[in-house]
Structure 1
Amino acid sequence: MSNIADISTGTYDAIVVGGGHNGLVATAYLAKAGLRPLLIEARPTLGGPCGTFEFLPGYRCAFTNSPGSFEPRFIAELQLEHFGLKFIRTDPTVVHPFPRGAFIGWRDRDRLAAQFDAYAPGEAERYFGLLSDLEELGRHLGASMFAPSPDLVHAARDVPGHLAGLFDRVMCGSLRQLLDERLKSEETKALLGMLALNATLTPPSAPGSAVGLMMRPISLASYAALDDDDPRRAALRGSTGLPVGGMGAIIDALEACCLAHGATILKDAPIERILHAGGRARGVVTVKGDEFLAPVVLSAINPRTLFGKMLDDEAVGADVRREIAAVPMRGSAFKLVLALDGVPRYAGLPADVDPAQAAQVQFRIAPSLDYIERAIADGLAGRLAERPIMWGLIPSVTSPDMAPAGCHLLSVNAWHAPYALAEGSWPEAGKRFADICIDALANYMPDLRRRLIGLRYFNPVEIEDELGLVQSNITHGDMLPNALFGARPHRKAHDYRTPLSGLYLSGGGTWPGGYVTGIPGYNAANTIIKDLDVTS
């Protein structure tokens, strides 16, 4: 650990700004290629939303809950299991309560089909048919998770005629229209609605809102072939499994990997500005005035923060800097952690489901598209949703050390809480929204309040302050077609390079966007390795 403590200013092959999961993935690959990278993190701990955080004494988890999108190839190529990372591959992977009983996300396709057909005759065929059509569209887009994305004009040229209507519906139409055309039951629509929509304030009736359903098909198309039992084929996420020790275990393994390959890590060192001269990046200066030099600087933080606060017009051009600094965030994350004296009981579980199995996995609260639409409409209007959308997990069931002996931790992400309230302020509204969320949870966990022995919540402003997430936006900007294809975060900085030579971008503000994949970090690192012509 000597390369963390007592670091002095100096020169490195590359500097990575931001120690979230993408910054760590990038650092690991740069070091593995033989470069000498310095990773600088503003906070005292690594991982950002994925890092372990003690919400209450003895109750530890991350702001994020699920690694369902974390790229399996990184686990293998970086040998993260060698650094202690282990997964529990649960079956089922998700519980989604509905008024007629809970949907159970089994890994077995036949068990899924039986539930869909119980909602509406023939629904399984319609559901799997829609997924198949989206996968076919993904194969024709010319897009890969592991290369800069094409713009929509070029993507449309490669789409065959029989898929043109689907392309238009996904990229220009709405999620609601697509699902209403292809499915019958409210339950099935809600299941896919929760997959397509993210934490930004985009309702299912908005143009482009169906593009979230394309991220899995594009991911599948990014590989030459996948076995039928490959976990990436699962449509409902959660396929990677749950990391033992929570999401922070991924961060711990990545940190250990970086150090093992010779990387240097500096924590608690916010960056003041990017140094540049003669049209090239040359290093960084911290808020404390420490200067670190390198011919390559890779930013894994929100591009809006980088371009708005750490660069000047001379570095990247006034227009580019102004436009990226003005990218709308529209975040809406609210974090709620409950300390419990036992595992709460789920209501409405099918008779063939062991309650212990259900307690292990992620749950989602949003029983219909109308419910989702209303919650997002409330957020857009600056109101607290009376019926909030929630994703939750009891991580202490599979990782008991995350809570005191005999107790459990319920970790909830409630979405579409407005960063800016139309009336009042968050210090007063936080407790009220936490109570709203607990009441909504108690509809599906009837003994929840009886088991509640403590709670802590972070409102959107507090999340921004704690994690540096601009306006509490976990994806560093909207995940809509015009903000994804060929222009994330900008048409002149969409390939991980910027107008300033030697300055590269990573993180959720680059392709393929937010979520816990690690892919932006991998792509940016490999772009640098290619540009430097490094052979490992």
Structure 2
Amino acid sequence: MTHARMGMMSNTLNTPTHRFDAIVIGGGHNGLISAAYLGRAGFKVAVLEARDSLGGPCGTYEFMPGYRTAFTNSPGSFEPRFIQELDLPKFGLQFVRTDPTVVHPFPSRCFLGWRDRDKIAEQLNAYAAGEADRYFGLLSSLEELGRHLGTSLFQASPDPVAIARNLPKDQESLFHRVFFGSLRHLLDEELESEEAKALLGMVSLNATLAPPSAPGTAIGLMLRPLSLASSPALDADDPRRAALRGSTGLPVGGMGAIIDALAACCRSQGAVIKTSTPVTRILHRNGQSVGVVTDNGDEYQAPVIVSAMNVSRLFADLLDDDAVGTDLRRTVSAVPMRGSAFKLALALDGLPRYAGLPSGVDQQQIAGVQFRIAPSLAYIERAVADGLSGVSAREPIMWGLIPSVSSPDLAPQGHHILSVNVWHAPYELREGAWETERDVFGNRCIEILSSLMPDLHERIVGHRFIDPVEMEDELGLVQSNITHGDMLPGALFGARPHRSIHNYRTPLKGLYLSGAGTWPGGYVTGIPGFNASNAVLEDRARMRASA
């Protein structure tokens, strides 16, 4: 019995049916952006979220009683145009733009990512004479390559082979180094200091379970140049101009404030948003999607379905062979989801003191700034090697923030929450289980953090460690992979999530793909949600033109 016939039978049994123009599966930031743009175009939209709260990793989460924040710490990749086009400030979204934007400790002293380029240059040149010119020169070269690639983050991407054919001769060498060479090789050729290499290494690689010496790992450096090439800078202070993440600023209220604003925007356009409503099946008839069924048997009907969930799980669990074809369903369901994310949340009775700050820098000025732990490419290499071998990293990579500095309501009065995203913690351990490894790894992370914050132990009044398995259960992140698949050339561009479905459409008419598993991939950009809604609107316009 096909799913469509099953859906028809459910109506005869008086199962509740709800009718909409479009259904969005998943209430994360991509799903909400899709819903917002479709609602703005006049669609009656339903957003169905499996969890009891919206936002996924970006939504506010209570890690301990009174201590709240999101799993993600920063909107550094969020496209500024969405804030303007959806008028999110109207719905309460505000940002605090810290200066500096990031603290990165090195054995000598901490690097501070000031907004003033001259201050960054002074630090780079202290690492090696002339390093600033080499550093900024590399970034300029990558921006130039981005302009010549002829691909946009806001459109389905062509295959890299097609991209390469159209490149000017003077761009071919850098193209091959970035797409097929390793990050380590590129940075060793272009830079002299280990510090400058580590700064860009953390931009290119954090969650990716591939070492800097692996081919294709330099591609992460292209996301910002591609964003700049895809749409012009909005103004002189466009945060995309800065290579170091965090330049967008920190949302007041934490990352969940972005989700709250998006949800309010959707509701203002008439969208129905339902949480605790897992979708279990896509209904289809004669090659056309006609609706979905939820876990309690309710049926939601719509000719358009936008899925913002993990694409591999969509194909494995919600679709049948008749919907998309046996071979495609099997292939997409098998896309690797190697994850290694671990979450550390610490309740503090006050602000910890930072070590290694340059003279004249005030502790309070640094307290609410993002920090990163990875002093060299060799450190990153070892962390990834541990994860690949099935053991938790002895020296893990960390991205952290004390969000309660800029958003005091996230912790009890006078207290703070320290939020740290940690890599690499393999989903499948070679020996043992996360039930026993969780505390061992979490405490190891605290010890490493103590080198940056010497009085951290004295400040801790509570903690929460979330291992990769628990993260999958809580957030639906398959194998704790935050990007829904590798962010390497072979899994990007026209191959994401598969060459047959790289344009946000599927063989099932009316079923569209969004989320981190589609181009341009993971991180908090919002672009997959926007692009999926554009695909819907383009197809609707085409249908009307041919009618």
TM-score (norm 2): 0.95
Counterpart residue number, 1:131: 139
Tell me what 2:257 maps to: 249
Q: Distance in 2 between matches of 1:117 and 1:370?
A: 21
SS at match of 1:413: strand
* Counterpart position of 1:481: 489
What letter matches 1:244 in structure 2? V
Provide the residue aligned with 1:500 in structure 2: 508
Q: Which residue of 2 aligns with 1:282?
A: 290
Is 1:215 the counterpart of 2:223 in the alignment? yes
Pairwise mapping of residues 331-370 of structure 1 onto structure 2 (< 5 A)?
331-370=339-378
Deviation at 1:226, TM superposition (A): 5.2
Q: 1:520 aligns with which of 503, 507, 528?
A: 528
Residue 306 of structure 1: aligned partner: 314
CA distance in 2, matches of 1:352, 1:136: 37
Q: For residue 374 of structure 1, report the CA deviation from its aligned partner.
A: 0.2
Asked if residue 118 in structure 1 is aligned to residue 126 in structure 2, the reply is: yes
SS in 2 for 1:516: coil
Give the Å deviation of 1:418: 0.4
- Percent of aligned pairs sharing the same letter: 68
Of the candidates 18, 24, 41, which is equivalent to residue 10 of structure 1? 18
Q: Which residue of 1 aligns with 2:413?
A: 405
Aligned residues: 529
- Could you list the per-position Cα deviations for residues 495-516 of structure 1 after superposition, in whole angstroms to 9, with x for gaps in the alignment? 1001111000000000110000
1:87-129 alpha-carbon deviations (Å, 9 max, x no partner):
0011110000000100000011100000000000010000001
Whole-angstrom CA distance in 2 between matches of 1:531 and 1:366: 46
* Equivalent in the alignment of 1:3: none
| Aligned counterpart in structure 1 of residue 102 of structure 2, from 94, 97, 101 | 94
2:330 to 315, 322, 326: 322
Shift of 1:200: 2.7
Residues 17 and 301 of structure 1 are in contact (CA less than 8 Å); yes or no, is this contact kept in structure 2? yes
Counterpart-to-counterpart distance in 1, 2:140 and 2:384: 29
Q: Paired residue for 2:181?
A: 173
Which residue of structure 2 aligns with residue 33 of structure 1? 41
Cα displacement (A) at 1:8: 5.8
**Structure 1 residues 147-166: aligned runs within 5 Å:** 147-166=155-174
Q: CA RMSD of the aligned region, Å?
A: 1.2
Q: Does 1:380 align with 2:388?
A: yes
Picking from 265, 268, 279, the partner of 1:260 is 268
Residue among 408, 415, 419 paired with 2:423: 415
Equivalents in 2 of 1:87, 1:199: separation in Å?
25
- 354-363 or 443-452: which moved more? 354-363
* Conserved? CA contact 1:220–1:226, under 8 Å: no
TM-score scaled to structure 1, two decimals?
A: 0.97
Q: CA deviation at 1:230?
A: 2.0
Return the alpha-carbon distance in structure 2 between the equivalents of residues 69 and 404 of structure 1. Answer: 29
Match of 1:431 among 433, 436, 439: 439
Q: Deviations over 1:306-342 (max 9, x none)?
A: 0011111110011111111000011111001000011
Structure 2 unpaired stretches of 5+: 1-14
AA partner of residue 312 (structure 2): R
Q: Is the 8 A contact 1:336 1:456 kept in 2?
A: yes
TM-superposed CA distance for 1:143, in Å, is: 1.2
Q: What SS does the corresponding residue of 1:492 show, helix, strand or coil?
A: helix
Give the gaps of 5 or more residues in structure 1.
1-6
The one-letter amino acid paired with 1:396 is: S
Residue in 2 aligned with 1:201?
A: 209
Match of 1:77 among 72, 80, 85: 85
Q: Which amino acid aligns with 2:163?
A: A
Give the aligned partner of residue 458 of structure 1: 466
* 1:148–1:486 CA contact under 8 A, matched in 2: yes
The ranges of structure 1 where at least 4 consecutive aligned residues each deviate by more than 6 angstroms after the TM superposition are: none
Q: Distance in 1 between matches of 2:197 and 2:17?
A: 55
CA distance in structure 1 between the aligned counterparts of 2:421 and 2:233, rounded to whole angstroms? 34
Q: CA deviation at 1:225?
A: 5.1
2:3 corresponds in structure 1 to none
Q: Return the alpha-carbon distance in structure 1 between the equivalents of residues 206 and 500 of structure 2.
A: 25
